């Protein structure tokens, strides 16, 4: 029996608990949540109680961003496996500190880059890796949402609490996917702005990326001034394209998750394409992600998707965007 402690029992903590409840050889022992919540598990008075509980094998960190690095290191240093929500930390150098603790502990560490585990993304990766459509040439990712004035006053909109704006909150998922399909991008150009909400964090990020080794180029727009909920990932290859529009999420805000495969039927490429459309009615990503983490523990296998190396790579890019991106700012 694998015994679990959860730190943070808001929306994400509850989602993780619901998935864990359905796994036979897993038991949730205790939860730490400083705020009000409905919880049928034992509630403890502080995270250190979970870190030092010898009965607990793995800790789930589902807290505001500012705690992720500190709690991950504490759990690892106390001999616990760790699953931590994104972002992994505020900077790449902070991620490197967590990796050092991971190496010393010998325990498993996985980050919640959940979008990699959606059915459409898994299928798209299979197609790309098969070479059926040739090599990836370029990609375009757009990920946006609207927020209310009440949400703008929450912890996610505080730089001290969150570490950054929409890029670190939501755009990190799309940036991770672009790297999932396109490898390391060593040329990064960006514009970040706060022209609408006028906060000390960005409400929009426009990013251009280039992998000079392969020639793969990508563009990313991460926004919280979309006024509609939008997820769109387009991958263009030598003899076809892959388009994912919409995403199945607990909020149901992003509509149906639809994958389109377009295979060119002529050589050289023409305007004729053999099209295949798949709609993913159910979101199994949380279960697939959890199976990956637990299997790594059970079998002493490496974390392949959502590893600390993935976290370091994406945070290195975000560092570059925040440091050298052109800023359009208005301060009230």
CA dihedral (222, 65, 180, 292) in degrees, to 10, reads -140
Q: In Å, how far are 168, 170, 192, 194, 329 from 326, measured between CA atoms?
A: 17, 20, 6, 12, 10
Is the distance from CB of 167 to CB of 194 less than 8 angstroms? no
> Is 18 domain-assigned?
yes
Rg of the chain (C-alpha set): 20
> Is 55 domain-assigned?
yes
Closest CA to 134 of 239, 216, 261: 239
At 210-227, the pLDDT tens digits run: 999 999 999 999 999 999
Is the distance from CB of 183 to CB of 150 less than 8 angstroms? no
At 59-71, the pLDDT tens digits run: 999 999 999 999 9
- Pair 227, 89 in one domain: no
CATH of the domain at 24: 3.40.50.720
Is the distance from CB of 190 to CB of 205 less than 8 angstroms? yes
At 310-325, the pLDDT tens digits run: 999 999 999 999 999 9
Determine the average pLDDT of the residues in 78-105: 98
Rounded CA gap, 174 and 172, in Å?
6
> Is 294 domain-assigned?
no
Residues 6+ apart with CB under 8 A from 150: none
> Is 305 domain-assigned?
no
Rounded CA gap, 332 and 165, in Å?
17
CATH of the domain at 152: 3.30.360.10
> Is 61 domain-assigned?
yes
In sequence order, what are the beta bridge partners of 243?
234, 260
- Pair 129, 98 in one domain: no
SS3 content of the chain, % helix, strand, coil (to 5): 35, 30, 35
Is the distance from CB of 328 to CB of 195 less than 8 angstroms? yes
Q: In Å, how far are 23, 61, 69, 197 from 87, measured between CA atoms?
A: 26, 11, 9, 22
The strand order across the sheet containing 326-328 reads 273-280, 257-264, 240-245, 225-237, 136-146, 217-223, 204-210, 187-193, 326-328
Question: Does residue 86 have a pLDDT over 90?
Answer: yes
- Pair 85, 179 in one domain: no
- Segment (H or E) for 138: strand 136-146
Is the distance from CB of 254 to CB of 120 less than 8 angstroms? no
State residue 328's pLDDT score.
82
Count of domains in the chain? 2
The domain containing residue 88 runs over which residues?
2-107
Closest CA to 206 of 116, 138, 141: 141
- Pair 30, 83 in one domain: yes
Tell which wins on pLDDT, 275 or 270: 275
- Pair 263, 155 in one domain: yes
Least confident piece of the model among 69-73, 203-207, 273-277, 297-301: 273-277
Secondary structure of residue 163 in the 3-state scheme: coil
- Pair 189, 247 in one domain: yes
13 class by beta-carbon count within 10 Å (0-12 exposed, 13-18 middle, 19+ buried): buried
Model confidence at 265, pLDDT cuts 50, 70, 90, reads confident
Pick from 87, 107, 127: which residue ends a domain?
A: 107
- Pair 93, 171 in one domain: no
Rounded CA gap, 171 and 168, in Å?
6
Rounded CA gap, 316 and 220, in Å?
16
At 143-190, the pLDDT tens digits run: 999 988 778 778 888 999 999 999 999 999 999 999 999 999 999 999
> Is 298 domain-assigned?
no
State residue 273's pLDDT score.
81
> Is 292 domain-assigned?
no
- Pair 119, 248 in one domain: yes
> Is 279 domain-assigned?
yes
State residue 331's pLDDT score.
56
Is the distance from CB of 26 to CB of 4 less than 8 angstroms? yes
In sequence order, what are the beta bridge partners of 151?
none
Pick from 60, 90, 107: which residue ends a domain?
A: 107
How many helices (H) and strands (E) would you count in the chain? 11, 15
pTM of the model: 0.95
- Pair 127, 85 in one domain: no
Model confidence at 91, pLDDT cuts 50, 70, 90, reads very high
- Pair 161, 136 in one domain: yes
Pick from 60, 84, 107: which residue ends a domain?
A: 107
- Pair 36, 168 in one domain: no
Joined together, the tokens standing for residue 301 give 């296998």
First to last CA, the chain: 54
- Pair 322, 250 in one domain: yes
At 17-58, the pLDDT tens digits run: 999 999 999 999 999 999 888 889 999 999 999 999 999 999
State residue 38's pLDDT score.
85
């Amino acid at each position: 029996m694998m015994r679990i402690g959860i730190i943070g029992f808001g929306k994400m903590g509850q989602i993780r608990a619901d998935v864990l409840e359905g796994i036979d050889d897993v038991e949730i022992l205790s939860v730490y949540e400083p705020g009000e919540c409905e919880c049928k598990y034992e509630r403890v008075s502080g995270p250190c109680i979970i870190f030092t509980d010898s009965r607990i094998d793995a800790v789930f960190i589902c807290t505001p961003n500012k705690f992720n690095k500190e709690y991950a290191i504490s759990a690892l240093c106390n001999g616990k496996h760790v699953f931590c929500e994104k972002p992994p930390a505020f900077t790449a150098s902070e991620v490197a500190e967590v990796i050092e603790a991971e190496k010393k502990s010998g325990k498993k560490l996985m980050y919640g880059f959940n979008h990699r585990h959606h059915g459409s993304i898994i299928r798209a990766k299979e197609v790309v890796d098969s070479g059926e459509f040739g090599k990836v040439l370029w990609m375009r990712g757009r990920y946006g949402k609207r927020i209310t004035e009440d949400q703008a006053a929450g912890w996610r909109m505080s730089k001290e609490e969150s570490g950054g704006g929409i890029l670190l909150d939501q755009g990190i998922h799309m940036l991770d996917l672009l790297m999932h399909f396109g490898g390391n991008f060593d040329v990064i150009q960006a514009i970040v702005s706060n022209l609408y909400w006028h906060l000390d964090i960005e409400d929009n990020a426009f990013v251009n990326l280039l992998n000079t080794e392969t020639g793969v180029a990508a563009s990313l727009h991460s926004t919280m001034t979309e006024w509609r909920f939008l997820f769109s990932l387009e991958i263009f290859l030598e003899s076809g394209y892959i388009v994912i529009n919409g995403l199945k999420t607990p909020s149901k805000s992003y509509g149906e998750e639809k994958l389109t495969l377009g295979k060119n039927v002529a050589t050289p490429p023409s305007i004729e394409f053999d099209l295949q459309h798949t709609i993913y009615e159910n979101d199994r990503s949380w279960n697939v992600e959890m199976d990956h983490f637990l299997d790594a523990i059970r079998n002493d296998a490496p974390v392949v998707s959502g590893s600390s190396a993935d976290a370091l790579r994406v945070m290195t890019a975000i560092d570059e965007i925040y440091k050298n991106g052109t800023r359009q700012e208005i301060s009230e």
